[in-house]
Amino acid sequence: MKAIYTRYETSNLLENFGEDVVHFQIYFKTDELPEVAIGVLFPYSALIKFVREANPPVYEYLTQIRSSMAGYGPKETKVLAQMEEEGFDLEPLLKEYFYSKDTLFVSQHLEWVERMNAPKAQEQAGVFLEQITDQLGESYASEQIKWDKFIDELDQTIHEVTFRYYPEIFENGPEKIEAYRNALYFVTTSFASRIDKILK
């Protein structure tokens, strides 16, 4: 049974959970079956891990995109937007990732899709999602987004004040800049942690 890549979709957790984490869903067909109803789901981080081994130069490019962005957290939707702006085509990597999977992986996914298409399984999935939503509350996503923005702006404010008074830090070579970045990270996350405790 030969699996044939057909297309992919992207989704993220921003709307429901306030986390800028991207997932891909790869759809495929076989020489015997039409395109699967539910694609193979995996996170952007899994793709990055694969690319690190399969194509180191591309891995360096992808990680450089994120490291060039200010702020904390994965910011994966922004990373993808930057790739698109720079004309980088992600699809060949997704195809390569999919075709690295063996026949057993494909067979297991087909079996899982068949089980998930059963009415009882769909009902259970709906109940599970509803329970998670109830536990988190309606404001969870907006609160998480606000928190992430707070940390990013805190970091940027400290950086701007430091640069205003001590610009020479950034003229003293990579070792000093790296030490500065470590100090900025420590101060920002320590302060944010204390604020989090106060809010609770």
Q: What number is the average pLDDT over the span 90-94?
A: 96
pLDDT of the residue at 97:
96
pLDDT surpasses 80 at 61: yes
Summarised one tens digit per residue, pLDDT across range 15-55 is 767 788 999 999 999 988 999 999 999 999 999 999 999 99
pLDDT of the residue at 76:
92
Summarised one tens digit per residue, pLDDT across range 119-139 is 555 555 555 556 655 666 667
In whole angstroms, give the CA distance from residue 191 to residue 23.
Answer: 31
pTM of the entire structure?
A: 0.71
Q: Residue 146 — very low, low, confident or very high, per pLDDT cuts 50/70/90?
A: confident
pLDDT of the residue at 147:
85
